[in-house]
Amino acid sequence: MSDFHPAVEAWFKQSFPKPTRTQLDAWQAISSGGHTLVSAPTGSGKTLAAFMVAIDGLVHQADQGILPPQTSVIYISPLKSLSNDIQRNLQEPLHGIEAKLKQLNQHEDFALPPITAAVRTGDTTSGERTKMIKAPPHILVTTPESLYILLTSKSGRQMLSTVETLIVDEIHTMVGSKRGAHLSISVERLECLCEKPPLRIGLTATQRPIELAAGFLVGNRENTPCRIIDSGHQRDRDIRICVPGILLSAVMSAEAWEEIYSILEGLIHQHTTTLIFVNTRRLAERVAKALGERIGDDAVTSHHGSLAREHRLMAEQQLKSGALKAVVATASLELGIDIGDVDLVCQVGSPRAVSSLLQRVGRSGHSLGHTPKGRLFPTSRDDLVECIGLIDCVNRDELDHLSMYPKPLDVLAQQVVAEISAGERSLDDFFQMLVRAAPFEALDYGEFHEVIRMLSEGFAGRRGRHSAYLHLDAVNGKIRPRKSAALTAITNGGTIPDLFDYDVVLHPENLVIGSLNEDFSFESMAGDIFQLGNTSYRIERVESGKVHVRDARGQPPTIPFWFGEAPGRTDVVSHSVCRVRTRISDLLGNDLSEAKRHVEQQYALTDSVSSQLVHYLATAKSALGALPDNNTVILERFFDEAGDQHLV
């Protein structure tokens, strides 16, 4: 740490016992000026590993009185809530370092220019956005979609033209999606704006192949290496499966749910803070309601994307302060949002992916040296097999495989209109910029030209004919924007689909407290009572885009539904499930105790879990003659009450 400014070094030594190995390796790589990808488990200090060198540079400039009023660092997060969290957590080191710097400069005329940080997301008010443009922050925290909007506006491009360091957090969540492909072009557009290519720093949970994430970060460039700091993901974990005394079936019975709630209640009382993950918003509300009836509504709440930002922030702060005993969350709390020390993580239903399991369990025992503690609660017989498959993956050091989304042309068209809206470009130069984005490495010029031709001639879509957005000068090989290009790019940016949710407006405060699915809102009537954020609300009226409500004072509610949110199972987990079925199938015979002993030893299962697993698979094999795996497909024929034949 001796290479850092004395104020930076003094603040760090006062705040932390010592740097982690990840931080030391990352600081060395970043200080050398090379692009760097940091892959490490939760609690290893990845955020400070990425920010410290950039902050140190700003402190040196401030100390010398040459800190320019411009944006030098941009941090990109996949979640608005994570962006807000990072911005809040940046204030502590910035204020602490500022205090140390003032101590080092005792003379009276010393005036330290403040190092500023600001967040720009979809939640940022118009007033805050205007203030940001007039007085650019030194550190800008944003999301991929807000970066795209800034790159597409004149004032935003001017603000971003001075960026020297680019930090992309949770990069593994975006590599394999259209959103990642969209971000990759935005990063190339950013580089074209800057006088000097920004230093790129990526942060990720451990993934395989890690080289793919590094390639995504730096793009398709010759002689542009990316230093990989891979601290691995192997650490001691306490992960167990919990099942009710009632046998699990194809669908969880009401009696089984009651047992699950009772087990959760006991675990919550045994621990200071408990984080409970579920796979859907509806289940988050349902579990929060059931636990609230047992431990008190003031001790538990829900946290998901359909709750207003203020409710989510309050839940995070209350859990961190100890005011809440438990929070029931979807993936909204899976990533690195600061919620303080969590003693236990429970997962209701299979998380469907190894990365999600490790990320979620890793929220407990967050600091290095502490053991993450997780409990899995399968919700059906097949869910039980899947949970065991997940644990087998963890024991075998198997991770979900990353794959890049190859050259999505709809994303390409959107970014083309956005970039050209800023001014004329050469076709050849523009094409070379696009193929530097890793997902578009295989884009050929013919495909690119067809997209340009479509955008310059207009095209027919599901909502009618779209006019042209560009002028194509084929003779001189240039493209120019039409008047409609900028507005179209700004109002149609990003790859997150519009779900047409209805805002929930609480009266008499006239405050938006969350959102409901369009279909649920349409089917609701005045007087209906529903739950949102573990609170009951009575519907006053429903109008286009809004549901007006009042507090129902704890009256029994229905639970809202949302569509299209359950995660899919990854290939690695599917192969592991097949491996578990095959292994147990080979052991099934007249004496089931042999199979039961084997699974208890192999997967560290309790007697009740192993009994349910072996009983289910033995019954299934007896009825079907075999168990399904990656080489065997089971087809089942049955007749309904009308005598019609069905094949499953």
The sheet with strand 117-120 has its strands ordered as 117-120, 139-142, 73-76, 165-168, 199-204, 35-39, 226-230
Report residue 172 CA to chain centroid gap. 9
Q: E-assigned strands of 431-469? A: 459-461, 464-466
Q: E-assigned strands of 116-206? A: 117-120, 139-142, 165-168, 199-204
- At 368, is the pLDDT very low, low, confident or very high (cuts 50, 70, 90)? low
pLDDT at 460: 67
Contacts 24+ apart (CB under 8 A), 439-446: 439/180, 439/181, 439/184, 439/216, 439/404, 439/405, 439/406, 439/407, 439/408, 440/181, 440/184, 440/185, 440/220, 440/407, 440/412, 441/220, 441/407, 442/406, 442/407, 443/407, 443/412
Q: Among 123-132, 151-160, 602-611, whose mean pLDDT is lowest?
A: 123-132
pLDDT tens digits, one per residue of 206-263: 788 999 999 999 999 888 899 999 987 667 889 999 999 999 999 999 999 999 999 9
CA distance 580 to 583: 5
CA distance 320 to 576: 36
pLDDT at 367: 63
Beta strands at 226-230 and 199-204: parallel, antiparallel or unpaired: unpaired
CA distance 98 to 110: 12
Q: Among 40-49, 170-179, 515-524, 566-575, whose mean pLDDT is lowest?
A: 40-49
Tell me: pLDDT of 108 over 60.
Answer: no
Average pLDDT (336-348) is 87
What kind and span of H or E run contains 374? Answer: strand 373-377
Tell me whether the CATH fold assigned to 6-230 matches the one assigned to 238-397. Answer: yes
Range 238-397: architecture per CATH: 3-Layer(aba) Sandwich (3.40)
Average pLDDT of the chain?
91
Q: Among 51-65, 81-95, 187-201, 551-565, whose mean pLDDT is lowest?
A: 81-95
Tell me: pLDDT of 565 over 80.
Answer: no
CA distance 45 to 87: 16
In terms of pLDDT, which residue wins out, 305 or 26? 26
In CATH, the number for domain 6-230 is 3.40.50.300
In one-letter notation, the amino acid at residue 372 is: P
What kind and span of H or E run contains 228? Answer: strand 226-230
pLDDT tens digits, one per residue of 372-384: 999 999 999 999 9
Tell me: pLDDT of 452 over 80.
Answer: yes
Both tokens of residue 535?
């609170």
Both tokens of residue 260?
């699950």
CA distance 89 to 398: 33
pLDDT at 552: 96
Q: E-assigned strands of 80-151? A: 117-120, 139-142
Both tokens of residue 45?
């200090």
Nearest to 383 by CA among 344, 330, 347: 347
CA distance 262 to 7: 51
Average pLDDT (286-307) is 95
Q: Among 282-291, 308-317, 362-371, 491-500, whose mean pLDDT is lowest?
A: 362-371
pLDDT at 48: 92
Contact by Cβ (8 Å): 313, 84: yes
CA distance 262 to 257: 9
Contact by Cβ (8 Å): 534, 551: no
Nearest to 565 by CA among 529, 525, 523, 520: 520
Cα pseudo-dihedral 278, 281, 287, 292, rounded to 10: 130
Tell me: pLDDT of 313 over 90.
Answer: no
pLDDT at 221: 87
CA distance 115 to 137: 8
For the chain, the C-alpha Rg in angstroms (whole number) is 27
Cα dihedral across residues 9, 15, 20, 22: positive or negative = negative
pLDDT at 387: 98
Report how far apart, in Å, the C-alpha atoms of 477 and of each of 189, 455, 474 are.
Answer: 20, 15, 5
In terms of pLDDT, which residue wins out, 453 or 122? 453
pLDDT tens digits, one per residue of 460-487: 666 666 789 999 999 999 999 999 999 9
Both tokens of residue 52?
């410290």
Beta bridge pairs of residue 230:
39
pLDDT at 109: 53
Report residue 283 CA to chain centroid gap. 19
Domain 409-491: top CATH class: mainly alpha
pLDDT at 331: 87
pLDDT tens digits, one per residue of 515-546: 999 999 999 999 999 999 989 999 999 998 99
What is the domain partition of the chain in residue ranges?
6-230, 238-397, 409-491, 502-551
Average pLDDT (117-126) is 88
pLDDT at 462: 64
In terms of pLDDT, which residue wins out, 461 or 645? 645
First-to-final CA distance of the chain:
63
pLDDT at 339: 81
Average pLDDT (186-193) is 97
pLDDT at 568: 86
pLDDT at 465: 62
pLDDT at 25: 95
Query: What burial letters (b/e) apply to 565-587, b meaning 16+ CB within 10 Å?
Result: beeeebebbbebbbbbbeebbeb
Nearest to 167 by CA among 147, 192, 137: 147
Report how far apart, in Å, the C-alpha atoms of 387 and of each of 242, 365, 444, 565 are.
Answer: 10, 21, 43, 20
Beta strands at 344-348 and 300-303: parallel, antiparallel or unpaired: unpaired
Maximum Cα interatomic distance, the chain, rounded to a whole number of Å: 94
Average pLDDT (351-373) is 85
Tell me: pLDDT of 153 over 60.
Answer: yes
